[in-house]
Amino acid sequence: MLQMNSQEQLNEVDSQAGRWMKNNPEVIYINETVEAAAELFSDLAVEFLPVVGESMSPVGIITSRATLKACLQGERETSIANYISQEDFSIIRKDEFIIDFYEMPYSHFFVVNEKQQLIGILTRKEIQQCLSSYMKELNQTFHTAEILDVILERAYEGVAVVDQEGIIVEFNEAYSSFTGINQKDAVGCPVQKIIENTNLHNTARNGLPERGVIQYIQGQPMVVHRIPIWREEKLVGAIGMLIFEGVTELYQIYNRFLEKTKQTPVNKNQMKKPLQENRIEHASIEKIKGSSKQITDLKRITRKVAKTYATVLITGESGTGKELIAKSIHELSYYQNGPFISVNCGAIPDQLFESELFGYADGAFTGAKKGGKPGKLELAKGGTLLLDEIGEMPLMMQTKLLRVLQEKEFERVGAVQKEKLEARIVVATNRNLLEMVRDGLFREDLYYRINVIEIPIPPLRERIQDIPVLISHYLKSLCKKYDIPEKEVTPEAMTVFMNYAWYGNIRELINTMEKLIILVESNVIDVDHIPNYLKHFDLLESPYIFQQEMKNKEKEVLMKALEENEGNKSKAAKELGMHRTTLYKKMKKYGLYK
């Protein structure tokens, strides 16, 4: 069976610390002298010794070099307590897996039992032996070294593995998030039922690899690899990898390559596209930053809805990016070759609303432009019309819009000839329309007509794990915009940003970062530079309380990430946007890891 991920394979070669540690190591007690340590080093011919207390609990490490230096300084009768190090080691349990701690920045790992007594030692040598054994086992399981290279480089968005019958045996988290199909539901199913337009089952049967092919998933062209898996010269399955989130990213990477080689950038129109109607020019969806579940789900739903002709209602607070979602729907839909027209319903005077939306005929009213003027519905022909802030639309216009949506036709003001509605309608609002319906401020029949599919955009305060990603992105882009050397944010400042409610959402975050980038002269943005309104006023009265609150919040975020990832530290670190070593340090700091 291929049903085996990297963690399981490493477990299979028995990678627990107890399997590889040196049992019952020689130790020295903390109350011993330098001279005693020197004699022990001479007898054992080792470079270090663990230092323990009377109960055999490790308290530090002493090296032969430190002992020699103390002897040369005439400190033979001095206690070794003055020369031990408490930095270059970590305490672990024998049932812990080496893959969970091998990246920690320590040279020595002291293995303890339930009573915290030292029972073994792991050095970099034993860890290397374990990892080498793992790689050997992995190479035997997956005969193709090429697959190993691709996996190790992590050059993919999603991975699916099938057996020779085309049944899914592995379905990674990225693929699950992209398709919206739970990993448990995918595993065990024929791949054709889970992944659209796949050819992976054929690759598993005929052994023919396919590289860099275009596959349409949820209406979006994806670049994929399909590679057969051989074991002992027998075809046992295939692995499918999403290399890019969209073809547009491929264009961007190719153009960056051409810039480096000083060649003329490629014209996208010159590149062969499988389907003209699915060509993506701008891919606004790629501008939506974040790795939280909320954003992953939002992108997935947007891709799925874009393929339909249904009217879409986008809801969300001001500054969440409703227009960006609307543009994404347009660019991923069959209307993408037409115009994208946006109308802010709250910015048009009531008396001009009808002529702005429907246009007017020649001589319709005094001062009318000769020959008339097309309205937004007409200008959006063959494309998408976004009615932004639909909650601000006057009741009279709501009635007329309802008729247009029902009859799929409209007429200019003062005209007698009807025009066909040939545009997709997308509406957006930051108001509670259902509440407005109850208050008589919005037509109930129009509400249900426009709310065929609702896409709610979560506020920034409900996806705080995306804040570091957004800040990192806008730090780079804004510094580049103003031709300023790149700046960075201290962890303390980042904690403040993550604690703030961001009532203006992404728009407020961008404005704040722009202000800090321009006004802060140093290359580091710290807490002192942050405007007071961003900080909790009640906590500013006491710096100690403020620091404690920040620490409590950080601990809470760590615990939540670990809980959501079922204790998997690698996944938790990735979700939090930090290196696994940093996560271990913070866990140790807050008593979450012993």
Q: How confident is the prediction along the chain (594 residues), in pLDDT tens digits per residue?
A: 343 444 444 444 467 888 888 888 899 998 899 999 998 888 888 888 999 988 888 888 998 888 888 888 888 888 888 888 877 788 888 888 887 777 777 788 899 998 889 999 988 888 877 776 766 565 454 444 444 444 433 434 678 889 989 999 888 877 887 788 888 889 899 999 999 899 999 888 877 778 778 888 876 777 788 888 877 667 888 888 876 554 555 555 455 545 544 444 444 343 333 333 344 444 678 788 887 888 888 988 998 899 888 899 999 999 999 999 999 999 988 899 999 999 999 888 888 888 899 988 877 666 667 778 899 999 999 999 999 999 999 999 999 999 999 999 999 988 888 999 999 999 999 999 999 999 899 999 999 999 999 999 999 988 888 888 888 889 889 999 999 998 888 878 888 888 888 989 999 999 999 999 999 999 899 999 998 888 763 343 334 444 555 566 777 878 888 888 888 887 887 777 666 666 776 777 777 765
Q: What is the CATH number of domain 6-132?
A: 3.10.580.10
Q: What is the CATH number of domain 284-458?
A: 3.40.50.300
530: Cα separation from own chain's centroid:
26
- Sequence spans of domains, the chain: 6-132, 142-248, 284-458, 461-589
Count CB atoms within 10 A of the CB of residue 435: 11
**CA dihedral sign, ordered 69, 73, 77, 81:** negative
Do β-strands 340-344 and 312-315 pair in parallel, antiparallel, or remain unpaired?
Answer: unpaired
3-class state of residue 108 by DSSP: strand
Report DSSP letters for 506-536, one per residue. Answer: HHHHHHHHHHHHHH--SSEE-GGGS-GGGS-
Do 284-458 and 6-132 have the same topology in CATH?
A: no
* Fold type of domain 461-589: Helicase, Ruva Protein; domain 3 (1.10.8)
pTM, full prediction:
0.53
Angle in degrees, 0-180, between the axes of helices 467-481 and 491-499, rounded to the nearest 10: 110
CB neighbours of 318 closer than 8 A, spacing ≥ 6? 430, 504, 505, 507
Which of 173, 274, 176 is CA-nearest to residue 216? 274
* Fold type of domain 142-248: Beta-Lactamase (3.30.450)
CB 220 within 8 A of CB 246: yes
